[in-house]
Structure 1
Amino acid sequence: MTNRSTGMCPFSIVYTKVPNTVLDITVLPKCKSKSASTLVENYTEFLSNIRLKIQESNAKYRLDVDAHRREKLFKPGDLVFVRLKRERLPVGEYSKLGKRKWGPFAILTKINDNAYIVDLPDEFNTSRTFNVKDIYAYYPPDELETQPHSVDTAALSSGGE
C-alpha cells in the first residue's frame, strides 16, 4: 500500500528492490566494486527524494491546519480569563458544573506568542504561566444600560396613523 506522503510503499523506500542485507548496501573500504558504489549513490539519491516529498507533504498539511488557526496575541496589561483545568485546582474543588473560566486577570509578561504569565492571586497555588489555548480575551460589559422601551398604546389603538 502506498503512503500518501511519499507516494511509495515503505518496503520500496527501505529496500528499493528485493530486500538486501546491510552488507549489500554498505561501502566496504577494501571493495572497489562499481556496482556497489552506484547502488549506494542511487540509494542516497532515492532517500533524498523521499525526504523532499515528506517535507512537501508536511508543508501541505501545515497549510491546511493553519487555515483554521486564529492568532491570539495579548499585550502586558490586557485583561483575560484563564481556563483552569482539573490538574490546576485543589483536590475536591473541581466540579464538572463549576466555573470553566476564571478572571479577569491582567497579563504580566509575554514569554512568546504561545505563552503568557498572568497575574493570578496567591490562593490559586498554581503556576502563573499559561498557554494561549487556555487564555481568553476579556470584554467588559457595555456601559450603556438597556432600558425597556415604553410602548405608546395610543398609537397602537389608533392604527398607527
Structure 2
Amino acid sequence: MDGNIARDVTRNRVKHVAEGYTNAKGRAVAGLGGGFQFCRLSEEPLFRADGSIRPDVTFAQLAEFVWFAETGTGYTGPADSLLLGVHEGRAIYLLYNGILRDKSDLGGNVLNSRTLAVLDEALPSFDGPRVVYGARARFDKAKLARLRITFHQLPYELAVKTWF
C-alpha cells in the first residue's frame, strides 16, 4: 500500500464527508459536520519498555508529544522554548533536555525558584493557570497550588497520561 495513503486519500475523503462535496453528477452533497486532525506517528516510541524516555529523544519531539497529550491538538509552536504555548487559558511549559542550557539539579529540568523566574519571564503578563512538565519540583503541593501550577513529573506522569 502507498505509504502516503492516509495523507493523500483518506484525509480528502474524511474532509469531504465533514464539509460536503459535489458528486460526479454535479449535485452538491451536504457535509455531516465535525472535523478531524491528521497526525503523524514517530517511527519509534518515545518511551522504553521500562517507562523511561529514550535518551535520543529531542526537546522538539517531546514538546510535540506533551502538547498533544495536554491539548489533543497538533503542536505548531517553537522547538526551542520552554513555553510551548497557551491553550484554553492554560500556559504549558516543558523543562527537558537542558532547554535552559543547564541540566544541574538547581535548574534546567527542575522546577525551582530559578526556573520559576524563567517561566515568569517567558510570559510576563500571564496570570492564569500553568502546567509544567519536568524532572521534579522543589515546591510542595500547597505552594504549587498557590502558584496555580499543575506539575507533571517526567516521564512517569506523561506515560500514565497517555494510557487512556
Interval of TM-score (by shorter of Structure 1 and Structure 2): under 0.3
Give the structure-1-normalised TM-score. Answer: 0.23
CA radius of gyration, larger in: 1
Q: Higher helix fraction: Structure 1 or Structure 2?
A: 1
